[in-house]
Amino acid sequence: MTVGILSIASMLIWIAVTQELGKPSEKQNNRKVMAFTALGMISIAVITISLFQNLLSN
Complete DSSP assignment for 26-58: GG--HHHHHHHHHHHHHHHHHHHHHHHHHHHH-
Q: Which pTM was predicted?
A: 0.82
CA distance 44 to 42: 5
Question: Residue 40 contacts by C-beta under 8 Å, 6 or more apart in sequence?
Answer: 10, 13, 14, 17
Q: Dump pLDDT digits (tens) for 1-56.
A: 788 999 999 999 999 999 999 999 999 999 999 999 999 999 999 999 999 999 99
What per-residue confidence (pLDDT) applies to 2?
84
What per-residue confidence (pLDDT) applies to 46?
94
What per-residue confidence (pLDDT) applies to 8?
94
DSSP 8-class letter at 25: G
